[in-house]
A and B are shown apart, each in its own frame.
Chain A
């Protein structure tokens, strides 16, 4: 089983937050166009001309002799799209990035189901390989786990194409959780932009192996790409590794900058960081989970 029971119990006490929900603290006149369970009171503000009289709070007017309108938070049915990278590069590391990402996907999926959100999981490489139809009942949790456990690494990554394709075919945008190593020479910008244009909230979780952050091997090597089997000859010295790490740092910065400018939540982790810590600490810190 991907997750033990104690961990699941802890997860049940958390819930996923979509930015859109956080953003949609609507004024009284703004009614969600989506099917919502109810309107939850959020706050007051002074009446301004044009506001809907229906949302004036007459009790306050009686006490304070001032007009206030009530604000409500729209409660939507959140759809959580978990897209997990199953390209060959995710098989890298010990434990593999896919194994680590799968557990993360399972945890986040369970968390969403526990909060009665719809959860769909898709595996992608150079396109959407296969998907699990969205579910929202807790009874589907094991099906979700089984699906995730059955994911096998294969193919090469085409991040942009995959996300473009996914954004187009999804009718109900929501929170897109991308679990990937983001090591795609084709880049990530177009794909992420496609999701943003389709009004997805995006949580990008980049998983790397420690050996990718700080390679230990030195000497003359034929480096083999785990996905494409392409080779390049390189004499790896301490200076080479430093250059690699510098380049990796630049790459991280580029990703961070892009995510910041596009309102994408970005979390980077390595498989050496305990998985529970990522869920309970890092994701909470990033206000994705409360």
Chain B
């Protein structure tokens, strides 16, 4: 058991005060009675029983106990578990972040880490069950618990570094999510070239094995493209980092689609990150690359950064309506929206977003749908009738659709009543009547309105364009909203795809992966290689860039001290606090106080 707030135990100092108060209170009051002779008999009976004697002091006892429990509760004790039976367990967590690709001498830090991991495995008892996990941009368990050393060595040998920053917090969460790991040894093999947040909760019996030394590095730590408001001119923002004790001059080269468009020398001071803005007038193209030329340092992954400025693929919206001025107006003014208006749904058309306005929705419609006063066959809402609305609309602020939304001034005269599936989320409602809901199941990403815009003044309100923008963004997010797609390694890229149609993603290394989804959105997570990714759909082709660009990873200096003799390193962060029990202690305090009160009331 650990105490997270030992100062809470100072409350115990109040116990002498309580005892003193009891001593003073023990002064018995005088009570005259006409005769004692019957009372004496009662007193004799009472003194023969032990319970009243105990009761006399039980209030003091209960109060002292309540203070003890309260002090313990304030001290926030956490159970760290008891030693479990069976074989010992160990998790070898290997840092596979980009900095592990740094070369020290003749080998990379990752190779050093692998050697250390093998040593850790080799030193363990033969019956120790060992798991191998990685703590790269996407933490993963690469080998479950096993005692088979050959398997473990093979898994360790196959580990590769990823071009992204490490995420110890995510790795720790992943380990904790595996179950009760409080008694499990967790050995983190790392170059310590990252900062650990104090809030990171380290799992199990955590210790680190540090590899590598402080070595200088120069890197592109930031590369972003920005289009000017009028969309005509591109601007590049570059940050160059010099993680060395001496100043240096770096040669930065910018290229578009393989053609060099700019080359300049930039002086960067010791341990300095130098920002740089470069206008790129008249430059067009899709793949932009910033590269440090002739930079011979330990880590090459951060010598280049990428960005994509492709033409924006318009969002294909099919508005199915018998005529709705508000919807037609708002959808037509959105940039990069290709709007088709039709009285009946046309499922044969390639559509990213269906907007159904008071029409009969066809069965089997999938993808992103905004259904306004439209009953979807097999949809989550089964309408039963209409009901007048005369109360204020309440909005679920937790939903992204309600961001910056104020519906308090919106008047809705009537709305459909019906049964809403429990798997749907209500965004806005009046009492029990849902007005706006979302549903993401069975290949459908749906936003539903149970009222018609004709029965409301929503179209006239300033909240209407905000709501529609939120809805369109939620239904059809795109990494290319600005036409520039560049994400950090490890980030999730949402890709709008055609449901049922294959999507091929080509990695910078040439590896390809094919996806066929029922939904119209692919949340692509495997962004562990820096470079340009190609997304090839049935009728479109997109690019996006993944770049390391992380000053944290490019700084190859260990952030925390190491005991070089043992290799064991103390790491900042919070140890797994175990299971908090202050709630139980607080409940005990309440029970004790209630018991104290009951006994006191019985006595008086």
Contact = CB atoms under 8 A, between A and B. Distances in A.
Interface residues on chain B, size class: 20 to 34
A212 interface: yes
Interface in B362-403: none
Interface residues of A, number: 39
Contacts of A200: none
A244 B55 CA distance: 18
B333 interface: no
A183 B34 contact: yes
B38 A244 contact: yes
Contacts of A220: 26, 28-29, 56
A234 B42 contact: yes
Contacts of A251: 38
Interface of A: 89-90, 92-93, 97, 181, 183-185, 209, 212, 215, 217-228, 230, 232-240, 243-244, 247-248, 251
Chain B interface secondary structure, helix, strand, loop or mixed?
A: helix
Contact of A224 (B30, B40, B43, B45): B30
Given A237-B603, A243-B42, A221 B29 contact: yes
A237 B602 contact: yes
Contacts of A239: 52, 602
Nearest to A238: B602
B604 interface: yes
B34 A209 contact: yes
A223 B40 CA distance: 9
Given A235-B56, A238-B602, 20 more contacts: A92-B34, A184-B35, A184-B37, A185-B36, A212-B33, A215-B33, A217-B31, A218-B604, A220-B26, A220-B56, A224-B31, A224-B32, A226-B33, A234-B46, A235-B52, A237-B55, A237-B603, A237-B604, A244-B38, A244-B42
Contacts of B41: 247
Interface string B32-66: 11111111111101100000100110000000000
Chain A interface secondary structure, helix, strand, loop or mixed?
A: mixed
B33 A237 contact: no
A243 B45 CA distance: 9
Contacts of B37: 183-185
A240 B46 contact: yes
Contact of B39 (A92, A209, A219, A244): A244
A240 B47 CA distance: 11
B604 A223 contact: no
A225 B33 contact: yes
Contacts of A222: 28-31
6 contacts: A184-B35, A224-B31, A238-B602, A238-B603, A240-B42, A244-B39
B56 A185 contact: no
A100 to B, nearest CB: 13
B39 A232 contact: yes
A237 B52 contact: yes
Contacts of A234: 39, 42-43, 46
Contacts of B39: 223, 232, 234, 244
Contact of A218 (B28, B34, B603): B603
Given A219-B604, A232-B40, A235-B55, A181 B34 contact: yes
Of the candidates B29, B34, B36, B56, the one having the most CB atoms from chain A within 10 angstroms of its own CB is: B34
Contacts of B32: 92, 223-224, 226
B530 to A, nearest CB: 80
Contacts of B602: 237-239
Nearest to B44: A232
Nearest to A241: B42
A212 B39 CA distance: 10
Contact of B35 (A183, A235, A247): A183
A230 B604 CA distance: 24
Contacts of A237: 52, 55, 602-604
A93 to B, nearest CB: 8
Nearest to B38: A247
Contacts of A240: 42, 46, 52
Interface string B269-287: 0000000000000000000
Of the candidates A92, A230, A235, the one having the most CB atoms from chain B within 10 angstroms of its own CB is: A235
A158 to B, nearest CB: 13
Contacts of B34: 89-90, 92-93, 97, 181, 183, 209, 212, 226-227
B35 A225 contact: yes
B213 to A, nearest CB: 75
Contacts of B33: 92, 212, 215, 223-226
Contacts of A243: 42, 45-46
A120 to B, nearest CB: 26
B224 to A, nearest CB: 78
Contacts of A92: 32-34
Contacts of B43: 223, 232-234
A217 B29 CA distance: 10
A235 B600 CA distance: 12
Contacts of B38: 183, 244, 247-248, 251
A169 to B, nearest CB: 27
A227 B43 CA distance: 18
Nearest to A248: B38
A240 B40 CA distance: 11
